[in-house]
Amino acid sequence: MPDDHEERFRQHEEMIQGLARMLAAQHMMNEEQREMNRDIKAILQQQVEINADVKTTLARVETLLARMIPSTENGREA
């Protein structure tokens, strides 16, 4: 009978050690994910700034085109 208890105890110890290894691995994956999330957040912020610059440039180009290309016949050379 004592052998059964010792065997069950050993099995439980192995399970606990396995769970501890899994928890440590999960912790590492979570840390890596946090790091990737920070990188993505920084990239997205840069993209927001780029988009704003592109919109500004587009508005300027549209304004210049509107000045250079009249939309009516008035002002065009015959």
pLDDT of 77: 56
Start-end of H helices in the chain? 2-68
| pLDDT digit string, tens, across residues 1-53 | 568 999 999 999 999 999 999 999 999 999 999 999 999 999 999 999 999 99
Mean pLDDT of 48-62: 97
Distances (CA, A) of 53 to 9, 33, 59, 64: 66, 30, 10, 17
Distances (CA, A) of 14 to 1, 4, 21, 22, 57: 20, 15, 11, 12, 64
Please state whether the predicted TM-score (pTM) of the whole model is above 0.85: no
Distance CA 77, CA 40 (A): 54
For residue 5, the model assigns a pLDDT of 93
